[in-house]
Structure formats: structure tokens, C-alpha cells
Chains A and B, each alone.
Chain A
Amino acid sequence: MKFVENQPSDATLDLVCRACPLHLLEPGEKLKCLKKGQVLEVLTDYDGALEDIPRWCKRCGQEFIGVAEDDDCYKLYIRKVK
């Protein structure tokens, strides 16, 4: 798992309090609104997302940048590649 600091993003998707499998459904929808090269920040308090989202990025051909920890959630960064 790659940890990042002060990663800039173009949009945020707040999935805190929302359970599995929303973390695998909502990022795809949100990425549709972004341009290639832009970065999506996903906020989640679900531990499983730390494994699921990098794997989902690989499967969907998007770039997983890394993760940062906040007070009450994880922040996962995805760059839209296609």
C-alpha cells in the first residue's frame, strides 16, 4: 500500500458511514464526471476498501495513486486514465 501526503484532487467522494459494496460502485460513477488525468479523492471508513479499491482500479484500468489517513477516515486517490 502506497501512502501519500498532501495529494491534490479535483473531486471528492464521501463514502464515510456507507457500507460495502458502495466503495466499488460509486467511484466508477463519479469518475464519469471527471476528465482524463484528473484525480478523485475517495473518503471511506471501511477497512476493506484499502484492498478493494486498488484492485478495482487495476481491473478497470484506472491509476491508484495511494492512501492517506485522516482523523475519522481513509482518503484514497484515483487518477482517471481512461
Chain B
Amino acid sequence: MKRVYMDHAAATPVRKQVIEAMLPYFDEDFGNPSAVYDIGSKIREVIEEQRGSVARLIGAESDEIIFTSSGAEANNLAIKGVALAWQKKGKHIIVSAIEHHSVINSARFLERMDFEVTFLPVDKHGLVDPERLSSAITPETILVSIMHANNEIGTIEPISELSAICRERGVIFHTDAVATVGNIPVDVNELDVDLLSISGASLGAPKGIGALYFRDNLRLMPLIHGGIQERGRRGGTENVPGIVGLGKASELAEKELPDKVSRVQELRDLLIAGVHERIEQIRYTGHPEKRLPGHASFCIAAIEGEALLFMLNQEGIYANTGSACASKALKISPVLVAIGIPPDLAQGSIVFTMSSSNNLEEIEYVLEKLPLAVDKLRSLSPVWRRKRAS
């Protein structure tokens, strides 16, 4: 059966070059990087080289990168690490209402520790209003976290505008860039952020590795206390193969990004236009222009997104209903609620996230199978019959 994978926001395949780069660090060069003998020092040097590759991809210095186990850990370290290190200055933090669970739930954890959290609303496209952010900042505010782009609706936030407000008010600014690094150009200096999260799984590196950029030796409370790894900011023996994988994936992403952006954007636009031509009563979610190049998201009236996913799965098409983490909970996406999608329409959410491995033939295949699946589900739907009758 044909297999068309369009869920790159959930996970990306690990590139062959990445796997090859990682392999020696499972057997030949297996040593502990903290060991004092030459095997250890050689691996320490390799880790520092990879740190440089990750830093280059986002315009950072290599000593501004902390390796973590995932984008979620990077988000946890940014939010809790800043809050716990800076709580004497204030105990108020601001996050947007459409952040990933790893940000939202870190903020909720801090609420239990007597921090005050403001969940900032967004507009119908998912954009944070800079004026609204400015009004929400108080003398107690120590941290603002707004994601670079949303993985469910593809909207890219005006980060440099938001970070400028925080810079002026002396507030630390974090952005979750898991959805953007490797998909659009990301430069920490242009964005002017203090912290930025990266995930290997979204970048062609394996799962189980991520990184946090932190500006200029910013004070952070570690989440994992241990030895001298990551210069005392994240204990635990390093995931050397994962780090090498992330370094290699970053190197490839830096080279390939300009071509990738134009290629996937073309595929995305064809998919969006085709879906609108073939399916009635459908709402395109997220911002029409300020969005990720490979991201197409819709809410289709009178169907269940989960049922549609299963039908597409039978045709070898792999998509998502929202975030990979939320879709299993069969709960209406808080992101769709935040942008004002009515609950019945939000049930019909479907998200396609493309990469340069996708092609025109695959788009045509999706455009052939998706309308058939929607028609079949609607033919069984009393909601659809009522809509047609009215």
C-alpha cells in the first residue's frame, strides 16, 4: 500500500546521514564523556563540535546551548528554571493560551508553587497582540513565554515585536521554537529572545534529544541535579548518539533550508487550494499568510477528525487532528477553542504537516482520497443531513 506521511510536526524520519553519524557512538566510541582518559576527552570534543552545529543553525554561540532529552524538557527548563532562579525578583509569568502542553503544564505547576500565571488570549488566527502583552506585564513579571509557531494551526507569532516589549520592561523572554527550527530561518539575535527550545524529533534527528538556547549565561535553576555535565545546568551522562544526531541534523538543515521552504510551501498551497475546491463547509485554521510553509490545517464540518484519521490511515495517509499529544485524549483542542472555533466544528480538525520528502504525486493522492473519506463520513452523519436540509 502507498504510504504518504504528512505528520512531520509529530515526528520526522531520521535522515540516513544522521544515523550514519550516530552509529560509532553506540559501540566504538561508547565511553563516558566525563572520563579523564583519552576516550572521554575525544567524546567531549565531539559533543562541543555538535553544540557548535546546533548553535550555528540559530545564530547562537556554542556555550549558549544546553542539550536536553526533548523539546518538552527544554520548555520545562526554560519555564521552571527561570521561575525558580528569579523568584526573588517577582512571581508572575505570562504564557499564551495556545502553548504546547509542556509550557502550559509547567506554568500550572508553578501556580501550585504560588506563582501567578497569566494565560494570554490570541486572536482568531492565533496571533498574540503585542499591546495585550504589554498590558499584562506587571512589576512582578519575570518571564514571558510565547511560542514561535503553533504546531496545530501553523501560525507564526510576531516574536521580535513581543520580545522587544519584554526587553524594554526587563522581563526574560522564552520562545518554544520546536515547530520552526529546521522549517523556517530562526536567528536568536533577530528574534532577540533570551531562551529558545529545540526538538530533535522535529528536525530529522532522533527522538530523545533536544536543546535549550539561553542567552549570555542567564541564571537558570537546573531541573536535573547531578554532576558537571552541561556545566552544571543539566546533570546526567550525556546522550552522545542523540547529541551527534542533533548536530548532524542541524548541519543538514542549515544547508537545505532555503530550498525546503519554497518546495514545501508550494506543496502546501496546492493542498489547501485542492481541499477548498473539493470539500464544502470547511474552515482553514491559523493565519492565511503568517504560517509555517509546510503546514495546512482545517476544520471540516459534520465529521469527527479521529474517524477521518482512521479512514485516511486505511489509504496509507498519515495526518493528525491537532497535537500528537492531545489527539489521543479525544478532547477538543484548547488551541482551536482559543481561536474561537465552535466545539462542533473543532471536532472535525485535521492537520497536514509536510516536509521536503513529500512530493506532488502525494498531494494528488491526498486530494483524491480525502474528499472520498469526508463524503463517506458525512453520509453516515445525522449532523450533516440536518445541515443539508437546512
Contacts and interface: CB of A to CB of B under 8 A. Distances in A.
A5 to B, nearest CB: 22
B222 A17 contact: yes
A19 B88 contact: no
Contacts of B84: 17
B108 interface: no
B388 interface: no
Given A71-B88, A72-B88, A14 B219 contact: yes
Contact of A16 (B219, B225, B228, B231): B219
A17 B220 contact: yes
A78 B222 CA distance: 26
Interface in A1-46: 14-19, 21-22, 25-26
Interface string B194-227: 0000000000000000000000010111100100
Contact of B222 (A18, A25, A72): A18
Given A17-B220, A17-B221, A22 B231 contact: yes
A19 B219 contact: no
Interface residues of B, number: 14
B85 interface: yes
Secondary structure call for the B interface: loop
Contacts of A71: 88
Contacts of A17: 81, 84-85, 219-222
A18 B231 contact: yes
A22 B85 CA distance: 17
B232 interface: yes
B189 to A, nearest CB: 21
Nearest to A16: B219
Given A14-B217, A25-B228, A26-B231, A19 B85 contact: no
Nearest to A12: B217
Nearest to B235: A19
A14 B86 CA distance: 13
Closest CB pairs A-B (n = 7): A18-B232, A22-B232, A17-B221, A17-B85, A16-B219, A72-B88, A14-B217
Interface of A: 14-19, 21-22, 25-26, 71-72
